[in-house]
Amino acid sequence: MEDCIFCKIIAGQARSWKVFENNFVYAFLDIHPANKYHALVVPKKHYKNIFDIPEEEFLEVMKVVKKLTTLYNTKLGIENVQIINSSGSEAQQDVFHCHFHIVPRRLGDGQDVKWITHPEWVEEYDRMLLDIR
């Protein structure tokens, strides 16, 4: 896609700090890092989000996520990470090229993700399962 920053990065038309590359996937340090070594893992082909990416290419991306988290653990001693994907604007996706964040975490880093939970919805689980089966 012409206007996609990640496509420009993959094509070498925009600067990046490459961590890993193979035939299917490109991984680079995030230009807006939440923590040191915050990386993005993207398919080389443009897919808007997780709903668009074919399973085979999704698996290639996940292999690289695993490879990099293992590298971070063995080379840097990082033992805590968040793997984050946002698909859709209401899920806070802001670059519409499927991507996964690897965010190293440490106690007190100020990057706490807080969710509002709804334990009352447990009562609806039987019906909810019928909706997705």
Question: Which of the following is catalytic: 38, 99, 101, 118?
Answer: 99
Question: Count of residues for the chain?
Answer: 133
pTM: 0.92
Cα 27 to its chain centre, rounded Å, is: 10
- State in Å, rounded, how far the first CA of the chain is from the last one: 35
99 given a catalytic annotation: yes
Instruction: Spell out the per-residue pLDDT of the chain, length 133, in tens.
Output: 779 999 999 999 999 999 999 999 999 999 999 999 999 999 999 999 999 999 999 999 999 999 999 999 999 999 999 999 999 999 999 999 999 999 999 988 888 888 899 999 999 999 999 999 9
Domains and CATH numbers, the chain: 5-132 (3.30.428.10)
Pick from 51, 56, 49: which is nearest to 99 by CA?
49
Q: Show the tokens assigned to 31.
A: 């230009």
DSSP annotation of 96 reads -
**Any idea which residue has 């600067």 for tokens?**
15
Pick from 112, 61, 62, 107: which is nearest to 80 by CA?
107
Residues 6+ apart with CB under 8 A from 76: 37, 104
